Amino acid sequence: MKSPAGHPPGTRRREPSLSPRRFRRACLLALLALPALSGCRSTVHRIQRWEAKREARRPPFHAVLPAVADSIMRDAQNVLVLDLRSAREFNSDTGHLYHAINIPLDRLPYRLIEIRSYRDQTFLVYCRDNSCGTAGMAVLTSSGFDDAILVRGGIERWIHDGFRTYLPANATGRVEKRNDLLLGREFKSDTELPVLRPVPPSKVPPPAPKPPAAPLPSPPPDAGVPVPAEPPPALPQ
């Protein structure tokens, strides 16, 4: 009696043996596949290293250009704007961003309680330049203000890119005269006005030409060289 597989009972089934030719072919295919597998692994490693370097270069906070910050201020008129410069710089002729709050960088760790209500809100931060702005962002992010946004380049780039700065309206001689058309509907304010900027030399109108000098009156035709008067006749003795 044979088993269902066709083998006599009590016998062990022999596994099909791999011929030398098939064995060599399998080894050759394995050797050919090794470079492809190693190449895929190296590509993956290169991509992972590139992503790690990009993440290392990326700052641990959000930063935008002045143009984007200006759009944020126009779209959200009540957004907090934090100025990290000294009080003297804040009130200098440079001015500050519209309705900005001044907390100097060296006092920021001690005055965070003043802005604690903005911990979960988006607000703008700027300083003189990127260096002090980055230092301020480090303090804010480590204290839980993860939605703070740095204005790149600080107020120096803000002014360089052509955006206005402001001072209190009572700074006579340093701010422009009140003009609703100039301020625009979103910048109408009774407390701050744009800083008075000197007119660039390229836009100063040239002085008006002087009128030509009037010609001197010409002498009359019969006017000649004056003749000396004759001496009076001598009296008889």
Residue 49 has, within 13 A of its CA and on its CB side, a CA count of 6
Contact indicator for 83, 100 with CB cutoff of 8 Å: yes
Domain span at residue 142 reads: 62-198
Is 31 in the same domain as 134?
no
Is 48 in the same domain as 124?
no
58: left (phi over 0), alpha (psi -120 to 50) or beta: beta
* Helix H or strand E segment including 55: helix 20-57
Global pTM reads 0.58
Q: pLDDT tens, 74-113?
A: 998 889 999 999 999 999 989 999 989 999 999 999 999 9
Asked if residue 217 is part of any domain, the answer here is: no
Is 78 in the same domain as 190?
yes
Residue 98 has, within 13 A of its CA and on its CB side, a CA count of 21
Cα-Cα-Cα-Cα torsion 205, 211, 212, 216, nearest 10 degrees, comes to -150
Does the pLDDT of residue 181 top 50, yes or no?
no
Q: pLDDT tens, 128-164?
A: 999 999 999 999 999 999 999 999 999 999 999 999 9
Q: Please tell me the total count of domains within the chain.
A: 2
Q: What is the CATH number of the domain that holds 130?
A: 3.40.250.10
Long-range own/partner contacts, residues 4-9 (CB < 8 A, 24 or more apart): none
Is 30 in the same domain as 120?
no
What's the sign of the alpha-carbon dihedral 195, 198, 202, 207? positive
**Please, which pLDDT band fits residue 176 given cuts at 50, 70 and 90?**
confident
Is 130 in the same domain as 117?
yes
**Please, which pLDDT band fits residue 186 given cuts at 50, 70 and 90?**
very low
Higher pLDDT: 76 or 40? It is 76
**How big is the CA angle at 105 (ends 139 and 148), to the nearest 5 degrees?**
45
